Amino acid sequence: MAAPHVTPRCRPPLARLRRDSKGTGHPGGPLTAGHTPGYHGLMTPGQRLRQIANLLNGSTLLGLLLAACARTTVSSGPRGLLIAGRYRWRLPFAAAFTVGNVILFRTGPESARANPVLLGHEERHSTQYAWCLGLPFLPLYFIAAGWSLWRTGNPGSANIFERHAGLEAGGYPLPGLPGTRPRTHRRLGVTAPERYEA
């Protein structure tokens, strides 16, 4: 990860956690049966296991450190995830990316929560970190992205990690279809021709 021209001061990651005014961490107010399960303790055993695994393997801590250094706003998300909004560093060229259980978005947390397709795509990357025992995911992902870039002209279409996370949800063209340029993800409402979604 390349640093910006001016290196920001790092603040303690956990000190930057934010909740909404009602203390629920959910933009719609208190958690009800109609909300997606996973906010604040209502995780499935698998989601809890992923959360613990990514904490123990160091990937979530790395994600929090990166979020703090980039001066993002970190808030609780669904299913044990943390949402770091308004990421401004130049790299990586993506509208969103995941480190452990931390999902970093270039948009604000409200827009991130309003995009369940992209959030689900990034959540699957979080699970991949747990399966890869944490930080080994990073070199494995870069190898897969390089292979995909060589084969298809973009880092996702032939990337096993992106294929398992969902190509269309990540803004990548399906293999064999024309067009390998980054696409605009309509659900974000942002035209970003130079970025894939994840």
pLDDT per position as a tens digit, 48-82: 999 999 999 999 999 999 999 999 999 999 999 99
Helix (H, G, I), strand (E, B) or coil at 189: coil
DSSP-assigned letter for residue 155 = S
Q: Judge whether 197 and 105 are in contact, CB under 8 Å.
A: no
Q: Provide the pLDDT confidence category of residue 146 given band limits of 50, 70 and 90.
A: very high
For the chain, what is the mean pLDDT?
Answer: 78
DSSP, residue by residue, 43-58: --HHHHHHHHHHHHTS
Q: Judge whether 100 and 134 are in contact, CB under 8 Å.
A: yes
Q: Judge whether 37 and 28 are in contact, CB under 8 Å.
A: no
Look at strands 17-18 and 73-76 and give their pairing.
Answer: parallel
Q: Provide the pLDDT confidence category of residue 186 given band limits of 50, 70 and 90.
A: very low
* pLDDT 10s digits, 93-120: 889 999 999 999 999 888 889 999 999 9
* Short-list 132, 131, 107, 112, CA closest to 122: 112
> Does residue 188 have a pLDDT over 80?
no
> Does residue 33 have a pLDDT over 60?
no
